[in-house]
C-alpha cells in the first residue's frame, strides 16, 4: 500500500512539474492542467482539486514572478492596480463555489477555456496603429507605461483601455475563486488584447498577479476543509519547480510558439472538462 501511495504521489508530482512549466511559459498558472488531471485522471473531487490548484497557483507566482521582475518583464504598477479587481472577484467566486455543483463548475471551466482560445486566435490589431493611438489618460496619470528587454534591445510600450481591463480582471478573479485556475488565461488575454500590453509582459505580469488572486480565495477553501495536505504538497512542490524552469525558457521562446502552446492546451482541456461535466463523470 505504501508503494501505491508513493507511486501516486510521484505521478502527481510529475504532472505538477509539467503544469508549473507550462504555467510559467504562458501565464496560465498551472491550474488549467492540475484541476482536469486530478479530477479526470485521478478521480479527485473537483473542490479538493481546486483547493490544491489554488495553493499551486500561489507557488507558481512565487517561483516565476520573482524571476520575471528581476529580468524586467513584469509591469508592477499594472499588476498592483489590476489586483484591486481580481482580489474582490476571487473572494466572491470562492463563496459562490460552495453553492454550485461539481458538474456545473466543470462545464463552466470548459467553456471559459474554449472562449479564451477563440479570443486569443482573433486577429490582433495593427501594432503601428496602436502605437500611434493616444495613450489612456488614466494610464498616463498612473504611469502604467513601461518597457521590457528583447533580443532587439529595450522595447517601450503604452497601456490602453485601463478601465476595461480592470473590469475583465474582476471577472477573472471571480473565475479564479470558482474554478481554482488562477484565471491566468483571461488575465493574459485582457492585458494582451484589451490593454495592448505586449504578450511576454502580459504573461510575466499575470504570473505576478495570480498568487495574490489565488491567496484571496484559498483561505476560504481552507476554512471549508477543501485543502488536503497530502494532495496539496506534491502539487505545490512540482508546480514550484516547473515554474522556475519555465522562466528560464520564456526569454528565448518566440511569441508565436507561446501563443500556439497556450491555445492547444486550453482548448483540449476545455473540451474534456465540458464532456465529463455533461456526462456526469465528475
Read off the pLDDT of residues 224-278 as tens digits, 9 standing for 90 and up: 888 888 888 888 888 878 877 777 776 666 666 666 776 787 787 778 778 877 8
The predicted model gives 38-56 an average pLDDT of 82
Q: Which three cell numbers stand for residue 1?
A: 500500500
The predicted model gives 52-76 an average pLDDT of 75
pLDDT greater than 80 at residue 164: yes
The predicted model gives 181-192 an average pLDDT of 72
Q: Looking at 89-93, 112-116, 128-132, 165-169, which range is the least confident one?
A: 128-132
The predicted model gives 102-126 an average pLDDT of 71
Residue for cell digits 466543470? Answer: 106
The predicted model gives 162-168 an average pLDDT of 87
pLDDT greater than 80 at residue 16: yes
Q: Under a CB-based contact definition with an 8 Å cutoff, are residues 86 and 170 in contact? A: yes
Q: What percent of the chain has pLDDT over 70?
A: 79
Number of domains in the chain: 1
pLDDT greater than 50 at residue 2: no
pLDDT greater than 50 at residue 1: no
Residue 146 — very low, low, confident or very high, per pLDDT cuts 50/70/90?
A: confident
Confidence at residue 41, expressed as pLDDT on a 0 to 100 scale: 79
- Alpha-carbon span 224 to 64, nearest angstrom: 29
Q: Which three cell numbers stand for residue 167?
A: 473590469
The pTM (predicted TM-score) of the whole model is 0.66
What average pLDDT does the structure give for the chain? 77
Q: Under a CB-based contact definition with an 8 Å cutoff, are residues 159 and 182 in contact? A: no
Confidence at residue 191, expressed as pLDDT on a 0 to 100 scale: 85
Choose the most confident range, by mean pLDDT, from 45-59, 144-158, 224-238: 224-238
- Alpha-carbon span 177 to 194, nearest angstrom: 22
Q: What's the maximum distance between 2 C-alpha atoms anywhere in the chain? A: 65
- Enumerate residues 6+ apart whose C-beta is below 8 A from 99: none
Q: How far is CA 222 from CA 67, 123, 190, in A?
A: 28, 41, 29
- Enumerate residues 6+ apart whose C-beta is below 8 A from 18: 33, 242
Q: Under a CB-based contact definition with an 8 Å cutoff, are residues 269 and 112 in contact? A: no
Q: How far is CA 196 from CA 4, 125, 158, 176, 251, in A?
A: 49, 9, 8, 22, 20
Please give the angle made by the CA atoms of 270, 215 and 116, to the nearest 5 degrees.
Answer: 25
- Enumerate residues 6+ apart whose C-beta is below 8 A from 28: 22, 181, 182, 184, 185, 188, 262, 265, 266
User: If phi over 0 gives left and psi between -120 and 50 gives alpha, with beta otherwise, what is residue 218?
Assistant: alpha
Residue for cell digits 485522471? Answer: 41
Alpha-helical segments (H) within 38-158? 46-71, 76-97, 102-121, 127-132, 137-142
- End-to-end Cα, the chain, rounded Å: 25
pLDDT greater than 70 at residue 193: yes
What's the domain range around 202? Answer: 2-278
Amino acid at each position: 500500500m505504501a508503494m501505491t501511495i508513493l507511486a501516486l504521489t510521484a505521478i502527481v508530482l510529475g504532472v505538477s512539474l509539467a503544469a508549473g512549466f507550462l504555467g510559467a511559459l504562458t501565464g496560465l498558472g498551472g491550474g488549467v492542467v492540475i484541476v482536469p488531471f486530478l479530477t479526470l485522471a485521478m478521480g479527485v473531487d473537483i473542490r479538493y482539486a481546486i483547493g490544491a490548484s489554488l495553493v499551486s497557483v500561489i507557488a507558481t507566482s512565487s517561483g516565476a514572478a520573482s524571476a520575471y521582475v528581476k529580468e524586467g518583464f513584469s509591469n508592477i504598477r499594472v499588476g498592483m492596480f489590476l489586483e484591486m479587481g481580481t482580489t474582490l472577484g476571487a473572494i466572491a467566486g470562492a463563496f459562490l463555489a460552495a453553492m454550485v455543483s461539481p458538474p456545473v463548475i466543470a462545464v463552466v471551466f470548459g467553456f471559459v477555456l474554449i472562449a479564451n482560445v477563440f479570443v486569443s486566435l482573433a486577429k490582433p490589431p495593427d501594432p503601428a496603429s496602436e502605437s500611434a493611438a493616444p495613450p489612456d489618460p488614466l494610464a498616463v496619470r498612473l504611469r502604467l507605461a513601461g518597457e521590457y528587454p528583447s533580443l532587439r534591445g529595450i522595447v517601450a510600450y503604452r497601456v490602453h483601455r485601463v478601465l476595461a481591463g480592470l473590469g475583465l480582471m474582476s471577472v477573472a478573479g471571480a473565475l479564479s475563486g470558482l474554478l481554482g485556475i488562477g484565471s491566468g488565461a483571461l488575465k493574459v488575454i485582457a492585458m494582451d488584447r484589451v490593454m495592448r500590453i505586449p504578450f511576454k509582459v502580459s504573461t510575466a505580469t499575470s504570473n505576478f498577479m495570480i498568487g495574490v488572486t489565488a491567496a484571496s480565495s484559498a483561505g476560504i477553501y481552507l476554512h471549508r476543509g477543501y485543502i488536503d495536505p497530502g494532495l496539496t504538497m506534491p502539487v505545490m512542490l512540482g508546480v514550484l519547480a516547473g515554474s522556475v524552469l519555465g522562466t528560464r525558457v520564456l526569454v528565448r521562446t518566440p511569441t508565436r510558439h507561446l501563443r500556439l502552446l497556450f491555445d492547444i492546451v486550453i482548448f483540449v482541456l476545455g473540451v474534456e472538462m465540458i464532456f465529463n461535466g455533461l456526462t456526469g463523470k465528475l
